[in-house]
Copies of this chain bind each other. A is one copy, B any other.
């Protein structure tokens, strides 16, 4: 008698990629592919900005960037509407806003400072693509960012707090009259260095925290990521995602842990925005399904990893604007193959 069970869902997506954009429950509307998709209100706050990027493969002039921009592009493949809270200058291109709007992104919460300039970041990646030097940081209008939640955003079910000053993230949470079903917070070492108290206060209010491995160690004072995770979850968030770049990501919850690999890529062309894109795919999947169980979060992390694997293939958000649902389904199948194995139960 032989029984084999498969760890990896080999042919799971072979029935067709449509599932990605199919409605599950609740109100539906059409997305830019002309397909009905599920809508559960997703609010994203973060930066909408310009970047100038130099990698070993080339350099760009000013291109569109920002944590909220990457997250919105990524999430828009899964859910609508997406409600942005950000601040931009008069220099932010109308075409970019139009392109996002066409994908269901609303801007009622985006403060447009006609006479100001958008946040600008410039950086240069080293050969290994894991480290980079910041060349320029011009806060510009970001220095006056005072996020305001419009009345039309009060139906927020899913809240993505993109990387931003923790006190501003808190300001968004406080303005929501009804607590969202799920609050996800992304942050970084910079805020740990200069605003740790605010960061810890904000952490208490969120469900899912997202940091990289070095940041998890800094935040917890523990080298072991397992111990770090336990400490961080004791500080507020009941879920912790530790991003390890080319080494994948870990999801912790209580005593449970899930590991998602990163796709082994021939080239990482431009890593900018990979974390924000991951976050957008993750919360986009959760908002699409309306299911915030640990089990569904695992799938969300695979979806986020798949989206991140696209964004690094070209400069900026470009890949996110051109990929189709077929591309995404193929990539998800690749992830399934990547981790699929059998444990033989021959007896």
Copies per complex of this chain: 2
- Give bound CA distance, A224 to B246, whole Å: 10
B244 and A343 within 8 A (CB):
no
- Report which residue of A18, A258, A302, A343 has the largest number of chain B beta carbons within 10 angstroms of its beta carbon: A343
- Given A3-B15, A224-B265, A247-B244, check contact A289 B339 (CB 8 Å): no
- Given A8-B339, A299-B343, A341-B9, check contact A261 B289 (CB 8 Å): no
- Give bound CA distance, A261 to B242, whole Å: 14
- Given A7-B7, A7-B9, A225-B264, check contact A24 B346 (CB 8 Å): yes
Residues from chain B with Cβ under 8 Å of A336 in the complex = 7, 343
A19 and B247 within 8 A (CB):
no
Q: Which residue of B lies closest to A5 (CB)?
A: B12
**Among residues 257 to 271 in chain A, which have CB atoms less than 8 Å away from a CB atom of chain B?**
257-261, 264-268
A345 and B247 within 8 A (CB):
no
**Among residues 7 to 55 in chain A, which have CB atoms less than 8 Å away from a CB atom of chain B?**
7-9, 11-13, 15-16, 18-19, 22, 24
- A332 touches B (CB below 8 Å): yes
Please, how many residues of chain A have a CB less than 8 angstroms from a CB on the other chain? 58
- Give bound CA distance, A24 to B24, whole Å: 45
A346 and B223 within 8 A (CB):
no
CB distance from A202 to the nearest CB of B (A): 26
- Given A3-B15, A7-B336, A18-B347, check contact A223 B128 (CB 8 Å): yes
A223 and B127 within 8 A (CB):
yes
Offer 27 A-B interface pairs, CB within 8 angstroms, sorted by A.
A7-B7, A7-B8, A7-B335, A8-B8, A8-B9, A8-B339, A12-B343, A12-B345, A19-B343, A19-B347, A224-B268, A226-B264, A226-B266, A247-B247, A247-B248, A248-B248, A248-B261, A257-B338, A258-B339, A258-B340, A259-B338, A259-B339, A289-B344, A295-B342, A296-B342, A299-B344, A302-B341
Given A7-B12, A7-B340, A259-B261, 10 other A-B contacts at CB below 8 A?
A5-B12, A8-B9, A19-B344, A19-B347, A225-B264, A244-B247, A247-B247, A256-B337, A258-B337, A302-B343
